[in-house]
Amino acid sequence: MSFWWFWAPPPVIEAAEPDVYPALAELHERSFPSGWSADDLAALARQPGVTILQARRSSAYGSRAIMGFLILRVAADEAEVLTIAVDPRQRRRGIGEQLLRAGLSRLYADRVACLFLEVDAGNAGALALYRKLGFRKVGERRGYYRDGTGDGGALVMRVDLA
């Protein structure tokens, strides 16, 4: 017996255009206690070195809904993840990993040496993903997240690309 109807094609990962910033802002608000507005995203996108990637459903017949997005900022030969958000209904399907892999690939092609991020120390799912992709802890920030899990501490993590 075949379960072909459960199979879904992987999302399309592409640069986000300004017309989708309101949808990204809505997704960010559903993902975090302190969401960013469409104006916040537009302001970020105008900064030098900032890239916004989106993951959207790839379907010729159905929804092309945005499933997640990633914002990276490059300065010299280092980059940082400003945020990554996946629609809560789409989590645990590998979308965050696909976004990060696409971002890492772009950074590698641009000869960026390393990528940093900060993550809530109590976010076990995110920590597992980052470790899977080669990130390692390089620092801590106590009380960084007001609305975080646990004590609100953040881990600073890094992956080398060069």
Question: Which residues are catalytically annotated?
Answer: 118, 130
DSSP letter string, 126-137: HHHHHHHTT-EE
Contact 24, 16 (CB under 8 A): yes
CA atoms within 13 A on the CB side of 58: 11
C-alpha distances in Å from residue 31, one per residue of 40, 68, 85: 16, 10, 6
- Hey, which bits of the chain come out as E strands? 12-15, 50-56, 66-75, 78-86, 114-120, 136-141, 154-160
Residue with tokens 């696909």: 98
**Nearest in space to 117 (alpha carbons), one of 88, 86, 145, 79:** 79
